[in-house]
Amino acid sequence: MVLMDLNNMEENTVLITVVDREGVGHALEAPTDMGMNMMELCKSYELPVEGTCGGMAMCASCHMYIISDHDLGIRNDDEEAMLDQAFFVKENSRLGCQLHIAPNFNGLKVQLAEVGG
């Protein structure tokens, strides 16, 4: 687990923990003012998220589980449709590309889903 100094964070930044498929947690600083989504955040830190379709909710390679109790709203129709075709889907499944990082993401913890198919 990488620790970060919470007192030394820049403005417009939230702290998000991404647990990879080996169970290792990565504490990531994420900007809230760059229109970034969770798929892009993972890619920018070189975590193993393919983001094959580029963020159109059309491949499920950024499938992740929300493991903290943050309320990130409901899945949109495209996301719901794609998760219907994906594997290892659970109640807390989301597509990272559809989660746009906002101030309420601070302290969020997600786990990368297994890559299926």
Partner 1 sequence: MIETDIIIIGAGPCGLFTVFEAGLLKLRCHLIDALPQAGGQLTEIYPKKPIYDIPGFPEVLAGELVENLMNQAAPFKPGFTLGERAESFEKTEDGKFIVTTSRGTKHIAPVVAIAGGLGCFEPRKPPISNIGQFEDKGIEYIVRDPEFYRGKRVVISGGGDSALDWSIFLAEGVAEHVTLIHRSTSFRGHLDSVQKVMDMAASGKMTLITNGEVVGVDGNEHVSEVHVAITGQENHQVIATDHWLPLFGLSPKLGPLAEWGLNIDKNSIEVNTFDYSTNVEGLYAIGDINTYQGKLKLILCGFHEATLMVQSAFKRIYPNKNYVLKYTTVNGVNGFE
Residues binding partner 1 (CB under 8 A): 50, 52-54, 56, 58-59, 61, 80-81, 84-89, 114, 116-117
Give the 3-state secondary structure of 72-97.
CCCCCHHHHHHHHHCCCCCCCEEEHH
Which residues does 75 contact at the CB level (< 8 Å), separation at least 6? Answer: 83, 94, 95, 98
For partner 1, the closer CB: 54 or 107: 54
For partner 1, the closer CB: 11 or 84: 84
Minimal distance in Å, beta carbon 81 to partner 1?
4
For partner 1, the closer CB: 54 or 103: 54
CA 37 to chain CA mean position, Å: 7
